[in-house]
């Protein structure tokens, strides 16, 4: 080990639990991080600083101005750039000894097993249920441990799943919530430091697992209520009766409502539609960052009374959740109005 190597990691190697052997384990390890945003940013920063030998990044999105309050690895000058490229440069600037592997595409059932098989540990920094179930099932099939986290408003949670046969995400949440009840930062909001703290805890758990120090959050989940700074743990019991996951499925369909809403319009149906009024009900800044046309009327400013009875309205938002809620509300108030919502992610139009 070179003098520079010893100097760089001296403050953690001096820990009796870590030592040179623990540092060597970090240097030989490979970790895949799903997402380079609010959670993934602090994870990749601290893992690179700690000397994790190979860091893989999965990210397909670009930097938007609305990301900057919580995704602090990005600067204003990065707006419009690919997140994965900025994150990769961040790692190289911080620690040139680290090897990176980049996957600038969306994670799906076709590529997850191939990508995951190359890494020792997975850290899930995603923000949606389809990806969380995909990560869990791919890790269960490959027998890979992963560090989970989620944030919403002033709350966060962290857990370690599938480590040496421990409980998995499906033992905590056997089935996903309905799309309209799923927590969403775009509608519910989140404070930036919440992402920073929870992402840092994920990085800490990853380092503990790799180096073998401390006790990881196995068979339990850490729940943090930041409004009152309450930290508590909840036990997770492994469901031995649950069949082992043997193949990946369509996770978008798995997490969608089983019965199609009559007001829902798919992307293909939308593209074939004519003679309609398109309205983006997201906030103004979201519309400016990317839109598929139409008028921009934020949900809170929308007046149902302004819709004419002979007018066909199609509402859209980022994922269909907000527009579905508003469409149902309008239809309940006046069943004669012809109102629909775009039931897909805007990312499909990019």
In sequence order, which ranges of 184-275 are alpha helices (DSSP H)? Answer: 185-188, 192-211, 251-254, 267-272
Token representation of residue 305: 């009374």
| Backbone conformation region of residue 214, classed left if phi is above 0, alpha if psi is from -120 to 50, else beta | left
* pLDDT score recorded for residue 178: 64
* Contact yes or no for 307/246 (Cβ under 8 A): no
- The interaxial angle of helices 40-50 and 192-211, nearest 10 deg, is 40
The whole-number pLDDT of residue 262 equals: 87
Phi, psi of 118 (to 5 degrees): -90, -5
Residue 22 neighbours by CB under 8 Å, 6+ apart = 13, 15, 211, 212, 213
Q: For residue 147, what is the enclosing H or E element?
A: strand 146-152
Which three-class secondary structure state does DSSP give residue 43? helix
pLDDT at 56: 98
Sign of CA dihedral 30, 36, 40, 42: positive
| Euclidean distance between CA atoms 85 and 77, whole angstroms | 13
344 is catalytic: no
With beta carbons less than 8 A apart as the criterion, state whether 122 and 32 touch. Answer: yes
Tokens of 313: 């309205």
Distance of alpha carbon 102 from alpha carbon 86, whole angstroms: 11
Residue ranges covered by each domain of the chain: 3-254, 264-349
**Alpha carbon separation from 304 to 97, 187, 297, 331, 341 (Å, rounded):** 58, 20, 11, 10, 15
Q: Which CATH code for domain 264-349?
A: 3.40.250.10
> Could you report how far apart the first and last alpha carbons of the chain are, in Å?
47
Determine the pLDDT at residue 310: 80
Catalytic residue chosen out of the listed positions 36, 185, 255, 344: 185
For domain 3-254, give its CATH number from 3.40.50.720, 1.20.1250.40, 3.30.70.100, 1.10.3720.10: 3.40.50.720
Mention every residue, 6+ apart, whose C-beta is less than 8 A from residue 240: none
| Helix/strand/coil percent split, the chain, to 5 | 40, 20, 40
Q: Tell me, what's the pLDDT at 186? A: 58
Relative to beta strand 121-124, strand 30-34 is parallel
In tens digits, the chain (350 residues) has pLDDT values of: 566 667 899 999 999 999 999 999 999 999 999 999 999 999 999 999 999 999 999 999 999 998 999 999 999 999 999 999 999 999 999 999 999 999 998 899 999 999 999 999 999 999 889 999 999 999 999 999 999 999 998 999 999 999 999 999 999 988 777 665 566 555 567 899 999 999 999 999 999 999 999 999 999 999 999 999 999 999 999 988 888 899 999 888 888 755 568 899 989 899 988 889 999 999 998 899 899 999 999 988 888 877 877 889 999 998 888 898 899 888 888 888 899 999 888 888 87
Question: Is 185 among the catalytic positions?
Answer: yes
pLDDT score for 346: 85
Q: Which of 36, 255, 317, 344 is catalytic?
A: 317
């Amino acid at each position: 080990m070179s003098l520079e190597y010893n100097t760089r990691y001296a403050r953690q190697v001096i820990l009796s639990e870590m030592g040179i052997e623990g540092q060597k384990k970090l240097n030989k390890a490979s970790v895949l991080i799903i997402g380079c945003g609010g959670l993934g940013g602090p994870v990749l920063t601290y893992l690179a600083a700690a000397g994790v030998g190979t860091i893989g990044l999965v990210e397909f999105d670009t930097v938007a101005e609305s990301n900057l309050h919580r995704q602090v690895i990005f600067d204003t000058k990065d707006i419009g750039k690919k997140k994965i490229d900025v994150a990769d440069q961040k790692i190289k600037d911080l620690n040139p000894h680290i090897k990176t592997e980049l996957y600038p595409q969306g994670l799906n059932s076709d590529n997850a097993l191939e990508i995951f098989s190359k890494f020792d540990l997975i850290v899930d920094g995603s923000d949606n249920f389809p990806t969380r179930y995909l990560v869990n099932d791919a890790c269960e099939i490959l027998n890979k441990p992963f560090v989970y986290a989620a944030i919403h408003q002033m709350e966060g949670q962290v857990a370690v799943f599938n480590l040496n046969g421990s409980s998995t995400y499906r033992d905590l949440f056997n089935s996903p919530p309905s799309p309209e009840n799923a927590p969403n930062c775009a509608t519910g909001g989140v404070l930036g430091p919440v992402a920073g703290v929870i992402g840092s805890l994920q990085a800490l758990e990853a380092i503990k697992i790799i180096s073998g120090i401390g006790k990881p959050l196995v068979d339990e989940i850490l729940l943090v209520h930041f409004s009152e700074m309450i930290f508590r743990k909840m036990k997770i019991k492994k469901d031995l009766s649950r069949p082992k996951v043997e193949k990946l499925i369509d996770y978008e369909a798995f997490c969608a409502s089983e019965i199609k809403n009559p007001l829902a319009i798919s992307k293909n149906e939308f593209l074939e539609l004519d003679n309609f009024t398109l309205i983006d009900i997201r906030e103004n800044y979201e519309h400016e960052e990317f839109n598929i046309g139409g008028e921009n009327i934020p949900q809170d400013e929308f007046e149902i009374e302004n819709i004419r009875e002979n007018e066909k309205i199609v509402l859209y938002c980022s994922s269909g959740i907000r527009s579905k809620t508003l469409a149902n509300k309008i239809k309940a108030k006046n069943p004669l109005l012809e109102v629909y919502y775009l039931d897909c992610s805007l990312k499909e139009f990019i």
